[in-house]
Structure 1
Amino acid sequence: MKIGTIVLAAGDSSRMGGDVKQLLTYKGQTLIRRTTESALALQRGPVVVVLGANRNQIAPELAGLPITLVDNPTWPSGQAGSLKTGLAALYLTHKDIDAVLILHIDQPIVSLGLLQHMFDVWKDEEKGIVACRYGTQIGVPALFYRTYITEILQLQGDKGLQWVIVRHRDDCSEVPFEAGAIDLNTKRDVEQFRQAYLQAQ
């Protein structure tokens, strides 16, 4: 089974007070590098990384990795544009993929173990979607069988993958991932995460 992975990393970190979120570090790696290497380590198919804002600063972090790097010029319009850009780059060159895995870069605890578990659940339960459950939310990381690609391509603006997942809950397997609730959108988010991580050491 061949899985294409799309790493969404086009945002402008507008609430980070000047910091570039993709370049924040965790365990000695930038978030963008860490997420991309986890996707590659799954070894299930091609990896596409979608950039937009701050591209010239972020792209060097991915130098040497066997990925497809694409630009989303419409990144200010919302996540849907990045999804379409990533799917176009992925699906036009790899029409034989069985499913698409979507990752965000601001969930620092995403690991190869989690991604492998999602793949195993997908094989065992044979649902069209595998999504992560954290708190009251269900969302990314999320895996979609290829039949959902057309529906994802129809998303507009900030209407994201959660909308697709909720519409098809009967075809969705849930994977518990409480650390998925960590969402580094502001400097305060980052500081709280770092304090919690240091206390856990």
Structure 2
Amino acid sequence: MKIGTIILAAGDSSRMGGEPKQLINYKGQSLLRRVTESALALQRGPVVVVLGANRMEIVPELSDLPITLVDNPRWPTGQASSLKTGLAALYLTHKDIEFVLVLHVDQPLVSLGLLLHMLDVQMEQGKGIVACRYDTQLSVPALFHRDYITELLQLEGDKGVKWVIVKHRNDCSEVPFEAGAIDLDSKRDLELFQQVSMEL
């Protein structure tokens, strides 16, 4: 199974008071470095990281890794533009990918173990989508068969991959991932996570 991974890391962290959340440190690594290394550890295909805001600060964090960095000048228009940028970068150079894995940078507890489990579930159940369930939603990390690339490219604005997941619920396997609800969007999120992570 050849997988192309897209890591969405273009946001401006406006609710963090300007500090790039991509560079927040957790267990000795930035959030961006952690998720990128997990994706690389799959050893299943190319990894693309989509950047936008704070690019100059973020690039050095990944400069030594065998990944493709792409810029999304339209990042303020919403997440869909970053997804499209990542898909274009993947498909231009790797037309043989079978699946696309979409990751966010602000879920600190995504691990290689979780990603491997998602692949196992896909192999066992044979569905075209594998998505993670937390709170009341099915969302990222999410794995899509290449048949869904055209539909992903049609997303606009702030519509993320969950729109495609919900639409094709009958072709989606669920992976429980309650820790996915930990999503560092604001300074308050970060403070709460830092308190809890001391115990992890």
TM-score normalized by the length of structure 2? 0.99
Alignment correspondent of 2:144: 144
Alignment correspondent of 2:120: 120
Q: Secondary structure at the match of 2:14?
A: coil
- How far apart in 2 are the matches of 1:56 and 1:105? 17
Alignment correspondent of 2:163: 163
Alignment correspondent of 2:110: 110
Q: What is the correspondence of 1:1-201 to structure 2 with a 5 Å cutoff? A: 1-198=1-198, 200-201=199-200
Q: Secondary structure at the match of 1:15?
A: helix
Q: Deviations over 1:24-71 (max 9, x none)?
A: 011100011111000000110000000000000001000110000000
Q: CA deviation at 1:18?
A: 2.1
The count of corresponding residues between Structure 1 and Structure 2 is 200
5+ residue gaps, structure 2, are: none
RMSD over aligned CA atoms reads 0.6
Q: Secondary structure at the match of 2:179?
A: helix
- How far apart in 2 are the matches of 1:148 and 1:14? 31
**Amino acid across the alignment from 2:24:** L
Give the share of equivalent positions with the same residue, in percent: 75
Q: Secondary structure at the match of 1:185?
A: coil
Q: Extract structure 1 runs of 4+ deviating beyond 4 A.
A: none
- How far apart in 2 are the matches of 1:22 and 1:88? 22
Q: CA deviation at 1:17?
A: 1.1
- How far apart in 2 are the matches of 1:134 and 1:159? 18
- How far apart in 2 are the matches of 1:137 and 1:27? 27
Q: Deviations over 1:130-178 (max 9, x none)?
A: 0000021110000000000000000000011010000000000000000
- How far apart in 2 are the matches of 1:182 and 1:121? 23
- How far apart in 1 are the matches of 2:89 and 2:131? 23
- How far apart in 2 are the matches of 1:61 and 1:34? 11
Contact 2:51 2:71 (8 Å CA) reproduced: yes
- How far apart in 1 are the matches of 2:108 and 2:181? 10
- How far apart in 2 are the matches of 1:78 and 1:67? 23
- How far apart in 2 are the matches of 1:89 and 1:19? 27
- How far apart in 2 are the matches of 1:68 and 1:96? 17
TM-score normalized by the length of structure 1? 0.99
